[in-house]
């Protein structure tokens, strides 16, 4: 989920860069392919989260949610009035949390969505829920993070001077990136101060599948990786100015989607060339439930599915 004005690894990074494992480009094998766009909604789908290959939840800019059961999509169901739902994160098939433009959060229990609960006075952008009892969300235009733990939401906590998106590998490890090129980390009790790692650019998204691996993408077409202690230098992977979303199910695979209908795959320590898969359209989010499957959503209410070789 990208940062918006209004409206996610192993070994020393220096060694990786020296070996070309971060910056090398390869061609995606023909045996790994994207499906044709599948219309599932009538409006923009802003967020998608797939905790397994047989379950995904998506939210749109009209206050609707729709789910995938592994073979077909449900019809959109209104869960939040006319509010724009910015993002959703599902820890399991029976726990999802969605956030909206009004600072509300909504919880899914496997069958129904609870009524929206005001948890912030700012629009909430990305949300990350690594477990059913812990979530972190950042503000779109503010400087706060908001935490869900033990069944309740804490008050917003100011940790930065600008907007952020968050990815949490566990309840005691989260990383936030902001639109000033800074990174912050959460140790289970406190957030660090912002540290500049991409001074010339702003971050769009970050994904941390492990405490020892994160990958972040910025608004200049660059990717940066984290090995548990150090961030790499930016590696240019796409000419698009907006790498809108990234999903890494493991340190060995990440999928990035951009604002020009292209996807970029990180596999085996290398980045593919950008692949046009939805020409003329904008991708808003991507979720990879496994190293062999990813689902991306675009600005026309469509889903595209990537399958690796089997």
- What CATH number does the domain containing 297 carry? 2.130.10.10
- Using pLDDT thresholds of 50, 70 and 90, give the confidence band for residue 219: very high
**How much is the pLDDT for 12?**
33
Local structure of residue 14 (DSSP, 8 states): H
Query: Residue 286: what pLDDT?
Result: 98
Query: Helices (DSSP H) in the chain: which residue ranges?
Result: 13-19
The predicted structure's pLDDT at residue 310: 67
Which is nearest to 206 in space by CA: 173, 240, 168? Answer: 168
* Domain tally, the chain: 1
Query: What is the rounded average pLDDT of the residues 229-256?
Result: 95
Domain membership of residue 239 as a residue range: 13-307
Residue 1 in domain? no
Q: Is residue 165 within 8 Å of residue 174, measured between CB atoms?
A: no
What b/e readout covers 200-225, taking b as 16+ CB neighbours within 10 angstroms? Answer: ebbbbbbbbbbbbbbbbbbbbbbbbb
Beta strands in 155-221 (DSSP E): 157-158, 164-170, 173-178, 182-186, 195-196, 203-210, 213-218
Across 59-84, average pLDDT: 97
Does residue 2 form part of some domain?
no
Residue labelled with tokens 């994207």: 34
Question: Quick check: is 8 in a domain?
Answer: no
Tokens of 219: 């608004």
Residue 3 lies in a domain: no
Q: Are the C-beta atoms of residues 8 and 209 closer than 8 Å to each other? A: no
Q: 30 or 69, which is more confident?
A: 69
Interval 250-256 mean pLDDT? 97
| Global pTM exceeds 0.75 | yes
Taking residues 166-178, what's their average pLDDT? 97
* Residue 276 is assigned to a structural domain of this protein: yes
Q: What is residue 11's predicted lDDT score, i.e. its pLDDT?
A: 34
162, part of any domain: yes
Reply yes or no on whether the pLDDT at 287 is more than 60: yes
Average pLDDT in the 247-270 region? 97
pLDDT band at residue 240 using 50, 70 and 90 as cut-offs = confident
């Amino acid at each position: 989920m990208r940062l918006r004005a209004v409206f996610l690894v192993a070994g020393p990074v220096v060694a990786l860069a020296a070996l070309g494992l971060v910056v090398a480009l390869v061609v995606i094998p023909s045996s790994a392919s994207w499906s044709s766009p599948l219309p599932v909604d009538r409006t923009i789908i802003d967020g998608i989260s797939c905790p397994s290959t047989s379950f995904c939840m998506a939210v749109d800019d009209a206050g609707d949610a729709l789910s995938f059961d592994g073979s077909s999509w449900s019809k959109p169901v209104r869960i939040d009035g006319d509010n724009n739902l910015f993002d959703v994160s599902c820890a399991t098939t029976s726990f999802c949390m969605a956030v909206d433009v009004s600072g509300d959060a909504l919880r899914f229990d496997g069958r129904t969505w609870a009524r929206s609960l005001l948890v912030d006075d700012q629009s909430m952008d990305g949300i990350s829920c690594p477990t059913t009892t812990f979530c972190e969300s950042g503000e779109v235009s503010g400087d706060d993070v908001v935490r869900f733990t033990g069944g309740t939401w804490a008050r917003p906590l100011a940790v930065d001077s600008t907007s952020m998106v968050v990815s949490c590998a566990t309840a005691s490890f989260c990383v936030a990136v902001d639109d000033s090129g800074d990174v912050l980390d959460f140790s289970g009790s406190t957030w660090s101060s912002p540290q500049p790692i991409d001074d010339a650019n702003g971050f769009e998204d970050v994904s941390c599948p492990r405490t020892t691996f994160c990958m972040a993408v910025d608004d200049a077409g660059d990717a940066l990786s984290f090995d548990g202690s150090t961030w790499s230098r930016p590696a240019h992977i796409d000419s698009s100015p907006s790498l809108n979303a990234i999903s890494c199910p493991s340190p060995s695979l990440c999928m990035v989607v951009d604002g020009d209908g292209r996807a970029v795959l990180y596999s085996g320590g290398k980045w593919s060339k950008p692949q046009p898969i939805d020409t003329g359209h904008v991708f808003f989010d991507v979720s990879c439930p496994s190293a062999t499957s990813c689902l991306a959503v675009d600005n026309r209410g469509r889903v595209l599915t990537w399958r690796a070789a089997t």
